[in-house]
């Protein structure tokens, strides 16, 4: 993720064009990473679990815990001032203490501002109770790999 203090109009157009291509990326996630997300979500219940997704190419390999993240009963607030300069961070993951993995309006706002891929896990925190979304909030498929 590149941070710029000032954006020229040309840069904004180029960034939007790059994001338009991203839904066609065939994302994958390592099974052990997904299992860690599910277990962390389960142990954080009834609060939300939240983290950042790190990838090698198109494969999500690990979750980064951001210092200063606030985890509440119905929210998780990232302290993006603590975000390291790390170009391998591609998105976010968080849990819902309910049975719905549908993004809220606050989730959609987060998706549009930070990252290209986002995962929401919900109760009962199993391999079947999570969904992935692109930066616009569109559901996308992620392949689980060994």
Q: What is the DSSP letter of 65?
A: P
CA distance 89 to 115: 8
Catalytic residue among 48, 56, 58, 143: 48
143 in catalytic set? no
Residues 9, 122 contacting (CB under 8 angstroms)? no
Question: Among all residues, which ones are annotated catalytic?
Answer: 48
């Amino acid at each position: 993720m590149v941070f710029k203090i000032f954006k020229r109009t040309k840069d904004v157009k180029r960034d939007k064009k790059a994001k338009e291509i991203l839904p066609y990326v065939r994302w994958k996630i390592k099974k052990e990473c997904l299992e860690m997300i599910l277990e962390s979500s389960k142990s954080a219940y009834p609060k939300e679990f939240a983290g950042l997704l790190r990838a090698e190419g198109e494969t999500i390999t690990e979750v980064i815990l951001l210092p200063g993240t606030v985890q509440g009963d119905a929210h998780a607030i990232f302290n993006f001032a603590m975000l390291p300069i790390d170009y391998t961070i591609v998105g976010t993951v968080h849990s819902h203490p309910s049975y719905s993995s549908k993004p809220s309006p606050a989730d959609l706002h987060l998706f549009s501002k930070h990252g290209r891929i986002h995962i929401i896990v919900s109760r009962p925190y199993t391999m079947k109770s999570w969904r992935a979304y692109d930066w616009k909030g569109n559901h996308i498929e992620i392949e689980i790999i060994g």
